[in-house]
């Protein structure tokens, strides 16, 4: 039986509402096989054949980009390149063919060793937490690094509290520059670290191909809240009345801004006095789901499109408002100039 888990960010590095179960329905018709290495012309009843058909059906029903695929043809070819075998690992050629057909930049196979490592990271203390890079006059420059953390664990709280401490200590700032140029991870602690800047409400939703809500996140009175009424709020150390939603913000973005970090960008999209500086993001702002494989590995694929507070949907790279080269001096210079020009913030030169 396959286990399917859905998430607002990378499976293995992200979390959101989860659900388990087998595929939605059995694969449809019996297929006449050709002369490929995976078949001798009869119905496939081996482990590899069954696994490929179950995976294909899951992707056909749930994958965001499933409409790109001729599934009957894809399954035939996936079975043809896969040996008749009762060893699940022999299904890899067929699975990779299905992923190639899906043409999903957020999809891939994660080896069992990497799955175990990422699960350990989810419950451990993060190597990096948000920090103050510099206060340049009336402008705060803040680093929000990638993180993998399970909600409300010590690591999740340490990460969120570090970012919130920067905001609390600098709540008199004229503007904030937030560096989001490095990696993906788990969206909820990242949003918690900058929550008071987002303001009240749900700011990013992940919607499936059918338009149904898969997950969503926002901020309300010191807590990360879910778009689903069934999920309890994730409380933080932030004062409930701390509201910095009117303070100008510049987000630094680039090709390293991917997955959950792009979700943070989407959460800020539509917010007043918000500017993106840098270059296009990685182009995987989608919410992922995962199929746990029999060997302990994991198949990850995009299941949902990110949608901002105004209903704009994102499935590809997010373009900056002010394009510039992605180097720290160039980004900071452009960000400080923007805040000085648009908000009148007094700044000093950052080396």
pLDDT digits (tens, 9 = 90+) for 258-272: 999 999 999 999 999
Is residue 134 in some structural domain? yes
Q: Which domain holds residue 133?
A: 122-285+304-343
Are 248 and 281 found together in one domain? Answer: yes
Q: What is the pLDDT of residue 50?
A: 96
Examine the fold and report which residue of 72, 90, 119 is the final residue of a domain before the chain moves on. 119
From 70, 85, 119, the end of a domain falls on 119
- In angstroms, the Cα distances linking 350 to 61, 262, 341 are 51, 26, 17
> Which one is predicted more confidently, 123 or 136?
136
The domain tally of the chain equals 2
pLDDT at 55: 98
What confidence tier does 17 reach under pLDDT thresholds 50, 70, 90? Answer: very low
Contacts of 28 (CB under 8 A, 6+ apart): none
Residues 74 and 158 in one domain: no
Q: Is the domain of 250 the same as that of 318? A: yes
Question: Percent of the chain beyond pLDDT 90?
Answer: 79
201 shares its domain with 114: no
In this predicted structure, the answer to whether residue 38 has a pLDDT above a threshold of 50 is no
Model confidence pLDDT, tens digit, residues 190-229 = 999 999 999 999 999 999 999 999 999 999 999 999 999 8
Domain assignment present for residue 9? The answer is yes
Higher pLDDT, 316 or 41: 316
Q: Which residue has the tokens 């749900």?
A: 202
Split at pLDDT 50, 70, 90, the class of 350 is: low
Report which secondary-structure segment, H or E, holds 319.
none
* pLDDT at position 184: 87
> Has residue 350 been placed in a domain?
no
**Mean pLDDT, the chain, whole residue set:** 88
Tokens of 10: 């990378």
- Residue 4's DSSP bridge partners are 291
Alpha carbon distance 130, 235 (integer Å): 18
Residue of higher predicted confidence among 35 and 326 = 326
The DSSP bridge partners found for residue 217 are: 204, 226
As a whole number of angstroms, the distance between CA 195 and CA 245 comes to 9
Instruction: Report how far residue 61's alpha carbon sits from residue 81's, in angstroms, rounded to the nearest whole number.
Output: 23
Q: Are residues 52 and 98 in the same domain?
A: yes
Say which CATH number the domain at 256 has. Answer: 3.90.226.10
Same domain, 31 and 92: yes
Assign 159 to helix, strand or coil.
helix
Q: Where are the beta strands (DSSP E) in 209-315?
A: 213-220, 223-226, 234-235, 249-253, 274-278, 287-292, 298-308, 313-314
Q: Quote the CA–CA distance of 18 and 3 in Å, as a whole number.
A: 10
pLDDT for position 190: 97
Residue 291 lies inside a defined structural domain of this protein: no
Q: Closest Cα partner for 297 from 149, 150, 99, 151? A: 99
pLDDT range class, residue 158, cuts 50, 70, 90: very high
Task: Record the tokens describing residue 331, joined without a space.
Answer: 């980004």
CA 93 to chain centre: 26
Give the closest residue to 70 by CA, choosing from 37, 103, 33, 24.
Answer: 103
280 and 197, same structural domain?
A: yes
Residues 11 and 105 in one domain: yes
Residues 53, 198, single domain; the answer is: no
Q: Write the pLDDT tens digit of every residue in 105-127.
A: 999 999 999 999 888 888 788 98
Return the minimum-mean-pLDDT range out of 5-14, 119-128, 167-176.
5-14
Same domain, 326 and 242: yes
């Amino acid at each position: 039986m396959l286990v399917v888990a859905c998430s607002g960010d990378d499976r293995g590095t992200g979390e959101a509402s989860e659900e388990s179960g087998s595929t939605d329905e059995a694969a449809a018709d019996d297929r006449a096989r050709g002369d490929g290495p995976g078949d001798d012309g009869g119905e496939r009843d081996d482990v590899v054949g069954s696994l490929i058909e179950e995976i294909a059906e899951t992707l056909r029903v749930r994958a965001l980009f499933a409409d790109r695929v001729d599934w009957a043809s894809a399954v035939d070819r996936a079975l043809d390149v896969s040996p008749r075998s009762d060893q699940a690992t022999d299904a890899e050629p067929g699975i990779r063919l299905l992923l190639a057909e899906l043409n999903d930049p957020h999809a891939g196979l994660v080896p069992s060793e990497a799955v175990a490592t990422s699960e350990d990271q989810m419950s451990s203390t993060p190597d990096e937490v948000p920090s103050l890079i510099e206060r340049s006059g009336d402008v705060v420059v803040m680093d929000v690094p990638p993180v993998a953390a399970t909600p409300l664990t010590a690591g999740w709280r340490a990460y969120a509290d570090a970012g919130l401490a920067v905001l609390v200590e600098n709540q008199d700032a004229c503007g904030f520059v937030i560096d989001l140029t490095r990696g993906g991870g788990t969206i909820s602690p990242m949003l918690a670290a900058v929550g008071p800047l987002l303001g009240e409400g749900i700011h990013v939703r992940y919607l499936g191909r059918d338009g149904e809500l898969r997950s969503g996140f926002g901020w309300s009175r010191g807590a990360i809240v879910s778009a689903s009424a069934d999920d309890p709020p994730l409380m933080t150390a932030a004062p409930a009345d701390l509201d910095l939603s009117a303070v100008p913000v510049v987000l630094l973005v680039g090709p390293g801004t991917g997955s959950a970090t792009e979700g943070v960008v989407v959460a800020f999209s539509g917010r007043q006095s918000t500017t993106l500086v840098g270059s296009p993001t990685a182009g995987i702002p989608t919410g992922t789901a995962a199929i746990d494989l029999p060997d302990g590995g994991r198949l990850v694929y995009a299941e949902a499109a990110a949608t901002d507070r105004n209903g704009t949907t994102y499935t590809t790279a997010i373009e900056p408002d002010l394009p510039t080269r992605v180097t720290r001096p160039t980004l900071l210079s452009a960000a400080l100039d923007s805040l000085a020009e648009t908000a009148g913030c007094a700044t000093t030169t950052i080396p």
